[in-house]
Structure 1
Amino acid sequence: MDTSFSSATPADTEEQADSYDRWFRAKVQAALDDPRPGIPHDEVMAEMRALIESKRKKGDAD
Structure 2
Amino acid sequence: MDGRLDPLISEFETLEDAELYDKWFRAEVEASLSEPAPSIPHDQVFAEMDALIATKRKARNAR
RMSD of aligned alpha carbons = 2.1
> Could you say what secondary structure the match of 2:14 adopts?
helix
* 2:39 alignment partner in structure 1: 38
Alignment of 1:50 with 2:44, yes or no, is no
Give the TM-score of the pair, scaled to structure 1: 0.73
> Could you say what secondary structure the match of 1:10 adopts?
coil
* 2:9 alignment partner in structure 1: none
Which 5+ residue runs of structure 1 have no aligned equivalent? Answer: 1-7
Would you say how many aligned residue pairs link Structure 1 and Structure 2? 55
Choose between structure 1 and 2: higher helix proportion.
Answer: 1
> Could you say what secondary structure the match of 2:39 adopts?
coil
Which 5+ residue runs of structure 2 have no aligned equivalent? Answer: 6-12
List structure 1 segments (4+ residues) > 4 angstroms apart after TM superposition: none
* 1:3 alignment partner in structure 2: none
